[in-house]
Chains A and B, each alone.
Chain A
Amino acid sequence: MSNIHHHLTDTTLLAYAAGNLAEHMSLVVATHLAMCPSCRNRMEEMEALGGVELCASETMIMANHSKDALFAMLDQPSADQKPISVSKRPTAGSFPYPLQGFLPENFEEIQWRNMAPGIKQFPLENIQAGRGTIRLLKIAPGITIPEHGHGGTELTLILKGSFSDEIGRFKPGDIADLDEDTAHQPIADTSEDCICLIATEAPLKFNSLLPKVMQYFVGM
């Protein structure tokens, strides 16, 4: 029985399977997939569809000597041959791969920065986000993220604790996959901090003045 009740939409999964998602968005998707077998299964179906579509594709003739040129290369050893068996990673801290590569071993070691009363952030580094954003947020109990819209898709993956919003209750592994039209106000609803990974395709748009001022100062 899976504990996950909030999943990726078909639209986002399709974009991921087709290779159309921006890098920072694909990090959040891949991390959720590590936590959600049913989304993994759906994603694999979509990749199988990609393969079928490839076979059904039109063809574009290869240049005359391309096959010979390729065959001449076949006997050369490949520089970066992956090992046949991937050894299991040692039990790491709290995060699945690939998120693991961007964070310290566990939650306690994260160097949080203040963002607003009750809200701390940890922007991820060494990742391309275009005009969008990707960060961890730590929300204290009872605190709400101010109402905001967002151009494009916003993905919020719960890592610890929980929050509630207009859609429902989100716990670790759950993902809120929202499009640009949905304004929402998540509130951390238990006595522990809620830690989540949030990626947006575009900058966040806060709907009232005070958060807009904060936005300027904290560089959201």
Chain B
Amino acid sequence: MPTVTIETIMIRKALNVQELAISKKMKSDANSKSSGLESAQMTSLLKLVANQDKEAFSTLFDYFAPRVKAYMFKLGSSETMAEEMAQKTMLQIWQKANLFDETKAAASTWIFRIARNLRIDELRKENRFEYDEHDFALTPDLSDNAEVILDKAQHASIIQKALLHLKPEQKEVIELSFYQGLSHSQIADKLVLPLGTVKSRIRLAFSKLKEQVEVLR
């Protein structure tokens, strides 16, 4: 049963104004990667979807379905299959939005995981093994300096800005991993580089990212 709380009405009001602005922008610069939803907006929309808000879901669909389709296509499926996988991803978002916890992940992270896991399950027909955070046998994080980042949405925005500081060759290895599904030895083959070079680029990319994230926080 959808519940319309005062919070929902207020979020929706704010988003309606934004949505108009967003949709205008997306039509005019359809190819611009920088247009579209901010991380915090995605979180708000996902929370509305948890309350079965179809308008919010429509906005998320417009943003994510074409991106997930491109993701699946770049990873090697046919356009038809990519389309189907994007649909399945969006359907899972609708069905599982009530499980989304904004203190644990940004909306884009959560959605990425769904797309990635669907790819493994349906395209590769493999299991993806994951730890269970509710497992008694899980070793808890007891470190004194465990800085709990509660604003995962903002953290995603910070990562986005930090990425701008990577060298092109460092960005490239990350993109090839996520968006062509290449292992480091496949990347080495594709770029005609020694394996060691690829591995150190990956290491440097993450160390640079970590450094920049600290600066931007």
Distance to closest chain B CB from A12 (angstroms):
9
Secondary structure at chain B's binding surface: helix, strand, loop or mixed?
helix
Q: Is A131 an interface residue (CB 8 A)?
A: no
B8 at the interface (CB under 8 A from A): no
Q: Provide the bound-state CA to CA distance between A54 and B93, in Å.
A: 15
Interface residues of A in 162-195 (CB under 8 A from B): 173, 179-181
Stretch of A21-29, A140-148, A212-220 lying at the B interface:
A21-29
Judge whether B44 is part of the interface by a CB distance below 8 angstroms: no
B209 at the A/B interface (Cβ < 8 Å)? yes
Pairwise interchain contact B137-A100, C-beta atoms closer than 8 A: yes
Q: Contact between B134 and A86 (Cβ–Cβ < 8 Å)? A: yes
Q: Let me know if A92 is at the binding interface, CB within 8 A.
A: yes
**Residue from the set A31, A81, A96 with the largest chain B CB neighbour count within 10 Å:** A96
Q: How far is the CA of A22 from the CA of B36 in the complex (A)?
A: 34
Q: Are A56 and B128 in contact (CB under 8 A)?
A: no
Residue in A closest to B64 when the chains form the complex, CB atoms: A54
A80 and B45 alpha carbons, distance in the complex (Å): 23
Q: Is A115 among interface residues, defined by CB-CB distance under 8 A?
A: no
Task: Please tell me if the beta carbons of B112 and A47 are within 8 angstroms of each other in the complex.
Answer: yes
Instruction: State how many angstroms separate the Cβ of B139 from the closest Cβ of chain A.
Output: 5
B131 near A30 with CB under 8 A, answer: yes
- Among A1-58, those with CB < 8 Å from B are 1-2, 9-11, 14-15, 18-23, 26-27, 29-31, 33-38, 40-42, 44-58
Contacts of B23 in A (CB 8 A): none
Q: Which residues of B contact A54 (CB under 8 A)?
A: 64, 67-68, 71, 108, 111-112, 115, 178
Please tell me if the beta carbons of B129 and A30 are within 8 angstroms of each other in the complex: yes
Shortest A100–chain B CB gap in Å is 7
The answer, among B116, B132, B210, for a CB contact under 8 Å with A18, is B116
Is B111 a contact partner of A59 (Cβ separation < 8 A)?
Answer: no
Q: Which A residues lie within 8 Å of B137 (CB)?
A: 34, 91-92, 94-97, 100
Q: Which residues of A have CB within 8 Å of B109?
A: 44, 47-48, 50-51
Closest residue of A by beta carbon distance from B161: A52
A210 interface hit (Cβ, 8 Å): no
Asked if B66 and A20 sit within 8 Å, CB to CB, the answer is no
B7 CB–A CB distance under 8 Å: no
Task: Identify the interface centre among A51, A70, A88: most chain B CB within 10 Å of its CB.
Answer: A51
A105 CA to B109 CA, complexed, in Å: 34
Query: Are B160 and A55 within 8 A (Cβ)?
Result: yes
Is A10 a contact partner of B152 (Cβ separation < 8 A)? no
A40 touches B127 (CB 8 A): no
Instruction: Report how far A66 CA is from B94 CA in the complex, Å.
Output: 15
Residues of chain B within 8 A (CB-CB) of A60 are: 66, 69-70, 73, 79, 82
11 chain-A/chain-B pairs, Cβ below 8 angstroms: A11-B184, A14-B206, A18-B178, A38-B143, A49-B163, A49-B178, A51-B112, A54-B178, A74-B94, A97-B137, A180-B185
9 A-B pairs closest in CB distance: A51-B108, A59-B66, A37-B141, A51-B109, A34-B131, A96-B137, A51-B112, A30-B129, A60-B70
